[in-house]
Structure 1
Amino acid sequence: MNNDPKFIKLVTVSDRVKYDLITSMFEEDEIPFIVKDDEAGSIMRIIGGSSIYGATIYVPDFIYEKARNLVADAFDGIKFDNYEPEEEI
């Protein structure tokens, strides 16, 4: 039986400031997350430290609502992605 959490797509951000704030909030609140860069963003982030492409943030299903509320409180009017499980890595 697999007890690993299922990660759910929370939000896609293209703004570096929002990205840094969201990931910092999650680290501070000990909310696990996975980031997947769009396009060639992961290579750009490795080489240059940031990316002009968006990044999608996933959180575990068991803490999705807490993470969503935290982001919604910090960023008025932010658009959340559809509730989708992470595809196989």
Structure 2
Amino acid sequence: MFGKKDSDNKQDSDLILLRTASNNYELGLIEGLLEDHHIPYLVQDRGVGGYLRIYAGSSIYGTDIMVGKTYFDQAKAIMDEVDWDETSQVSEEELEKAAQEAAVDETE
């Protein structure tokens, strides 16, 4: 999608910032929603955030999620359906419990 060269698809290569994820849980949620709706996206860490995410598992700088112009309205509508205040209140214990439950479901 983003590598096309012909002029009819120029609009697809114009990336727009959809949202900045503040933690790995939010990033995973956004990626999952976009993948479920077959919306191509690009993840771009801010500053040294990419190194921090690799080394420490998360980044304090945030991660930008970019989509093409033609997908922006659809992706924005999907993001608007999520209660972002609720997602930021998820505790580490709840995240760990959800991950363990997901691992159990995959093994069954």
TM-score interval, normalised by the smaller of the two chains: 0.7 to 0.9
- Using the TM superposition, give the Cα deviation of residue 22 of structure 1 relative to its aligned residue in structure 2, in angstroms: 0.5
- Equivalent residue in structure 2 for 1:43, among 51, 61, 68: 51
The reply to whether residue 14 of structure 1 matches residue 39 of structure 2 is no
Aligned partner (choices 21, 31, 37) of residue 39 of structure 2: 31
**TM-score, structure 2 as length reference:** 0.62
Aligned pairs, how many?
77
Two-structure CA RMSD over aligned residues (Å):
1.8
After TM superposition, what 4+ stretches of structure 1 lie above 6 angstroms from structure 2? Answer: none
Q: Distance between the aligned counterparts of 1:58 and 1:13, measured in 2?
A: 11
**In structure 2, what is the equivalent of residue 62 of structure 1?**
70
Displacement, 1:76?
Answer: 5.2
Identity %: 31
Q: Which one scores higher on RCO, CA 8 angstroms, separation ≥ 6?
A: 1
Gaps of 5+ in 2: 1-5, 86-108
More helix by share: 2
Greater alpha carbon shift after TM alignment, 19-28 vs 1-10:
1-10
Gap runs ≥5 in structure 1? 78-89
Query: Deviations along 1:46-84, whole A, 9 cap, x unmatched?
Result: 23333222011110100100000101101357xxxxxxx
Q: Which has the larger radius of gyration?
A: 2
Q: Match of 1:17, as an amino acid?
A: Y
